[in-house]
C-alpha cells in the first residue's frame, strides 16, 4: 500500500513537472521496485506509457510584452505620483512651520514691549479712543501673554 502511494505521488509529480510532452517509460527492477523515467533503461524490459497530454493552466494569464510594460509603467506612474504627493505635503508642512516660527517671533517681539506701555485703548468707529483702566490693561497684557503661550507654546 505504501509503495503504491509513493509510486502514485511520484507519477503525479513527474507529470506536473513536465512542461513539454515527453515519452514516459515504466519498468520493474530485479528487486521488484517499479520505476518511471523519460529514458528507457539500457537492456531492460520497459513499457512506454501512453499518457494524456497535460495542458498547463498558469495562475495568471500570459501577458504580452506590451501589456507587461503597460502595467509596469502604470505602477511606476502611480508610485511617482505618490512620492510627489508626499514631497508636496512635506513642503507644505515645512512652509507652515516656517510661517508659524515667523509669527511667533513677531509676537514675542511685540510682547517684549508690552510691559513698557502704560496706556491701552480701543478705537471706536468714530475715531475716538476709549482708554483702558489699569485693571483692564493688566487683563489685556495677561490675555496676550496667554494667547502667545497657547499659539506658540512658549512662556
Q: How far is CA 142 from CA 111, 120, 137, in A?
A: 10, 13, 9
Q: Domain-by-domain residue ranges, the chain?
A: 2-49, 65-152
pLDDT at 88: 95
Read off the pLDDT of residues 95-123 as tens digits, 9 standing for 90 and up.
999 999 999 999 999 888 887 888 888 89
What's the pLDDT tens digit per position in 7-63? 555 555 555 554 445 678 887 888 888 887 888 887 777 888 777 776 766 666 677
The residue that leads in pLDDT, 94 or 46, is 94
pTM for the structure as a whole: 0.45
**102-109 LR contacts (CB < 8 Å, sep 24+):** 103/151, 103/152, 104/148, 104/151, 104/152, 104/154, 107/148, 107/151, 107/152, 108/148, 108/152, 108/154
Instruction: Look at residue 19 in the predicted model and tell me its pLDDT.
Output: 43
Amino acid at each position: 500500500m505504501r509503495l503504491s502511494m509513493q509510486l502514485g505521488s511520484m507519477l503525479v509529480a513527474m507529470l506536473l513537472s513536465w512542461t513539454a510532452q515527453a515519452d514516459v517509460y515504466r519498468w520493474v527492477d530485479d528487486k521488484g521496485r517499479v520505476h518511471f523515467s523519460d529514458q528507457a533503461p539500457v537492456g531492460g524490459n520497459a513499457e512506454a506509457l501512453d499518457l494524456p497530454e497535460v495542458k498547463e493552466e498558469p495562475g495568471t494569464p500570459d501577458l504580452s510584452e506590451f501589456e507587461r510594460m503597460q502595467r509596469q509603467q502604470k505602477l511606476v506612474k502611480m508610485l511617482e505620483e505618490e512620492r510627489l504627493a508626499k514631497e508636496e505635503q512635506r513642503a507644505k508642512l515645512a512652509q507652515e512651520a516656517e510661517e508659524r516660527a515667523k509669527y511667533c517671533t513677531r509676537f514675542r517681539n511685540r510682547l517684549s514691549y508690552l510691559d513698557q506701555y502704560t496706556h491701552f485703548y480701543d478705537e471706536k468707529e468714530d475715531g475716538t479712543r476709549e482708554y483702558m483702566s489699569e485693571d483692564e490693561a493688566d487683563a489685556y497684557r495677561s490675555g496676550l501673554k496667554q494667547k502667545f503661550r497657547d499659539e506658540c507654546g512658549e512662556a
